[in-house]
Amino acid sequence: MSKLRTLTVAGFAAAAIVASTSASNAISVVNGGTFNPGIAGENITNNTSWTDAVGTVQTRVGSSSGQWRSPFENFANGLTFTYVSVQQDSSAKWILGPSTSLSIVWGSPDNYNYIDFYSNSTGFLGTVNGHDNGVSPPGPNATGNTLVTISGLGLFDYIIIRSPGTNAFEFSNLVSTCVGAGCGGPGPGETPIPGAAFLMGSVLAGGAGFGAWRRRRKAA
C-alpha cells in the first residue's frame, strides 16, 4: 500500500472515530439546588461580555411584573442584587473559548428559555431548555433560581441565550470550564509573548555577535 493510500485510510478512520464520538455525546444537566447569595462564598457575578445582541439584553436589579423577575427576590436584600435579563424575542452570544462544561444560576426556569451551544469547527451542538430534566422549576410558579451545570456536548466555543415569544430569561454567575488555547492565557503548543520576545532577542544578539566575529576575522 502506498504512503498516500495509508494516510487516506488513516484519515477515514480518524473521521469515523470523531463521528462516533459526536454521535454518542449526551447532554448532561445537573441541578445543584438553589443558589443563596446570603451564604458566605456564594457571590454574585455577571458575565456582561455578550456580543451580537438582538433585541433587549440588560443587567438589571429587582423585578417588574410581566417583564423580568430577579432570581434572588426570595432572599433577604435579594432585590438589590444584579443579574442579566434577555427579554422577549431577544438573544445574545457569549464567547467562552473551548469549554467542556457550563454552570449558570438560572432564574425562574421557563420552557421559553434556551441556551444553544456551538463549536467554531462543527457548528451547532445542542440546546438546553428551562424545562429540560435537571432544570426543574425551583419554587411555586417557577420563582427563585437553580444552579445548573451542563456538560456532555464535547468542546463548545460559544453559547447563544434566547427567550423567544415571552419575557424573559434571567440569570447570573455564567461560568464555563475552558481548556486549552483561548482561555485568557497560552494553551498547549502556544508560546507566551515574553518567550517569543526573548527568542527574537536571542536571534538578534546572535546575528550581531556573528557580524562582530566576521569583522575581527577580516581585520586579522
Nearest alpha carbon to residue 115 among 123, 1, 104: 104
Q: Which residues contact 93 (CB under 8 A, 6 or more apart)?
A: 50, 51, 52, 53, 158, 159, 160
| DSSP 8-state symbol, 68 | B
| pLDDT, position 9 | 34
pLDDT greater than 70 at residue 155:
yes
Range in 29-38, 59-68, 91-100 the model is least confident about: 29-38
Cell matching residue 132: 429540560
Quote the pTM value.
0.71
| pLDDT, position 141 | 55
Assess contact for 105 and 111: CB atoms under 8 A: no
pLDDT greater than 70 at residue 142:
no
| pLDDT, position 179 | 92
What is the percentage of the chain residues whose pLDDT exceeds 90? Answer: 53
Mean pLDDT of the chain: 76
Domains and CATH numbers, the chain: 27-180 (2.60.120)
